[in-house]
Chain A
Amino acid sequence: MNGTSYTITASHLDVGHGLHRVVRDIDLHTQPGDLVALIGTNGSGKSTLLKTLAGMLPAMHGDLRVLGTRPGAAPKRVAYLPQHPVSSHTLPLRARDVVAMGRYAHLGLFKRAGSTDREIVERTMRRTGASEFADKPLREMSGGQQQRTHLAQVLAREAEVLLLDEPTAGLDIAGKAAVAEVIASERARGVTVVLATHDLADAASATAVMLLAQRVVAFGPPSQVLSDQNVRECFGFTQPH
């Protein structure tokens, strides 16, 4: 594997908001098809790291490249699912319209959506189950339906890097299984997935797990990282050294 095959490279990366550093000294190198699970409690730095990878927050220190460029510079190739996508109750948008917005990074201001774009939208809605309520307005959807719609929107970008912040939040068991299936099929086509989650079960199939508690508690393959000692430290049962 040569150096150019890395999808994300972070060295001595500090992430945070404004002047507040949340996590220091992150090292992360991912390749196509990798799944990195970020595990930690609320405020541990998972979302901050994902937002930095998406280019929504500047890196506070260190080097960070996503697909060989600065974060946020390749919107067609990177898709980000925020933790709780804002769903204004005044917005007159149907599920299909919300998913179609996932193609805007490719279409820009002027390019017309073609048959390929429409096919991608329909296909991704089928994958997350959103096709069952394709014409339902966003404001009339349940939390689970909104989450499926937003996930379909992210997939519709057909990106090479997926940054997912708790994609199973608000979903029932069937919804969680659908997300796991989607992540597996995305990885199979070479997509790098970075997933923030509370759920240790999500980490079992990951290439690497990063345990966060406003610092990197441990990082590496699940079999090495998910020790009792590390997990207790990550979830605050013991004080960090």
Chain B
Amino acid sequence: MNTGLAVAELLWQPFARNEFMRNALLASALVSVICAIAGTYVVLRGLSFVGDALAHGVIPGIALALLFGVPGVVGAAIGAVVMMGGVSVITSRVRLSADTAIGLLFVGMLSLGVIITSRSTSFVGDITRILFGELLGVDTSDLAWQAAVLVVVAAIAFVAHRPFVLMSLDDGLARTSGFSVRFFHALMLTMVAMAVVGSFQLVGTLLVLGLLVAPAATGALLARRVSTMMLVASLCGVTSSYVGLLTSYHFDVAAGASIVFTSVYLFVIVAVLTIPRRMRGTSELPHQHEHAH
């Protein structure tokens, strides 16, 4: 009985006693749902690298904002727009493979961010905050901002669900169904950028991809429908947030990284547990046709 109480105390007491822990839990739960929605399409459409590039592309914007005393999210939003424009131009106009071109753009933006931050008198503190986030410093205005981002991201996913799913299967299918692939691809990137901008304060730009991809990838392993995948991803994200925060509190380790690590660890566990099911699936996977047209 006493042991049970002690365990319950360990599991709940950090949040009951500390407002910063409650805020952190609420914020990471909001961000988990935002990332589960956007991340589902990132995984389905194979945009992980673009998502990573967007996460790094916002760094110069945040650095400039900090330098001029403007809110970081404003700089991040501007950085995201510049990065999306760059990705769009590169993927449509440059005769390089998309991953090479996007890779160059994102290391360019990352180095620019570091150069700008190095002008700041508190360089180490600023760059650490940008790269790894500040989960335990969340206040109510941050929560309101994240709730607003959640509403917009959910609205985009609701309105554009059909073209997004068609594009996940095949761009041509979306086009011949009467949907503009260019417009809805840009809308999907906007949604991913909003998720990045809404999440970087918590886990930092370096780790935000983990929240976008890991819970959604876990959802993809378990779900048979897109809506279920989103739900599973949300549950994985919220669970990872709770476990990560608890780990961070009791063992005095970085909170954002603990959450992301938990979500990746959860993915590994589910991937291992579902190997037998997937082996059954691959034994009758479609044969590949040898000819190409």
Q: Report if A91-B281 is in contact (Cβ < 8 Å); known contacts: A42-B293, A56-B175.
A: no
B contact residues around A98 at 8 Å (CB): 169
Q: Is A97 engaged at the interface, CB distance under 8 Å to the other chain?
A: yes
Please determine whether B286 and A88 come into contact, CB atoms closer than 8 angstroms: no
* Residues of chain A contacted by B46 (CB below 8 angstroms): 88
In whole angstroms, how far apart are the Cα atoms of A89 and B169 in the complex? 10
CA distance A194 to B223 in the complex (A): 37
Bound-state CA distance A123–B61 (Å) is 54
A80 CA to B175 CA, complexed, in Å: 10
Would A88 and B168 count as touching, CB distance under 8 A?
yes
Q: Which of B173, B224, B291 contacts A85 (CB 8 A)?
A: B173
| List of B residues within 8 angstroms of A47 by Cβ | 293
Q: Which of these binds chain A: B62-70, B80-88, B159-167?
A: B159-167
Residue of B nearest to A98 (CB): B169
Report the nearest A residue to B225, measured CB to CB. Answer: A92
Interface residues of A in 88-139 (CB under 8 A from B): 88-94, 97-98, 101, 104-105, 107-110, 135, 137, 139
Residues of B within 8 A of A92 (CB): 219-220, 223-226, 228-229
Q: Which one of B166, B176, B219, B223 lies within 8 Å of A56 (CB-CB)?
A: B176
Contact A84 B177 (CB under 8 A): no
Tell me if A16 counts as interface (CB < 8 A to partner B).
Answer: no
Q: Scan residues 53-91 of chain A and give those whose CB is less than 8 A from a CB of chain B.
A: 54-56, 72, 75-76, 78-80, 82-91
* A46 (CB) vs chain B CBs: closest residue: B293
Interface residues of A: mostly helix, strand, loop or mixed? loop
Instruction: Enumerate B171-207 residues with CB–CB distance to A below 8 Å.
Output: 172-173, 175-179
Q: Nearest Cβ distance between residue B40 and chain A, in whole angstroms?
A: 9
Q: How far is the CB of A209 from chain B (nearest CB, A)?
A: 19
Interface segment, A27-35, A140-148, A180-188, A231-239? Answer: A140-148
Of residues B166, B173, B291, B292, which shows the largest number of chain A Cβ atoms within 10 Å of its Cβ? B173
Q: Are B289 and A170 in contact (CB under 8 A)?
A: yes
Complex CA distance for A98 and B166, rounded to whole angstroms:
9
B291 and A90 form a contact (CB under 8 A)? no
Bits for A149-184, please: 1 = Cβ < 8 Å to B, else 0: 000000000000000010001100000000000000
Min CB distance B217 to A, Å, is: 8
Q: Is B147 an interface residue (CB 8 A)?
A: no
Is B228 in contact with A107, judged by CB distance below 8 angstroms? Answer: no
Structural contact, A104 and B225, CB atoms closer than 8 A: no
Contact flag A86-B169 (CB < 8 Å), given A47-B293, A93-B226, A140-B284: yes
CB-CB under 8 A from A46, the residues of chain B are: 293
A43 in the interface, Cβ–Cβ < 8 Å?
yes
Cβ of B43 under 8 Å from chain A: yes
Name the distance in Å between B37's Cβ and chain A's nearest Cβ: 15
Q: Is the CB of B177 within 8 A of A75?
A: yes
Q: Answer whether residue B272 sits at the interface, using C-beta atoms and an 8 A cutoff.
A: no
Q: Are B44 and A88 in contact (CB under 8 A)?
A: yes
In the bound assembly, the distance between CA atoms of A94 and B225 in angstroms comes to 7
Contacts of A110 in B (CB 8 A): 159
Q: Which residues of B contact A (CB under 8 A)?
A: 43-44, 46, 159-160, 162-163, 165-166, 168-170, 172-173, 175-179, 217, 219-220, 223-226, 228-229, 280-281, 284-287, 289, 291-293
The 7 residue pairs across chains A and B that have the minimum distance between CB atoms: A75-B178, A143-B286, A140-B281, A92-B223, A105-B177, A47-B293, A86-B170
Instruction: Provide a sorted-by-A list of 23 A–B residue pairs whose CB atoms are within 8 angstroms.
Output: A42-B291, A42-B293, A46-B293, A51-B172, A75-B176, A75-B177, A88-B44, A92-B219, A93-B224, A94-B224, A98-B169, A101-B166, A101-B173, A101-B177, A104-B163, A104-B177, A107-B162, A108-B162, A137-B281, A139-B281, A140-B285, A141-B286, A142-B284
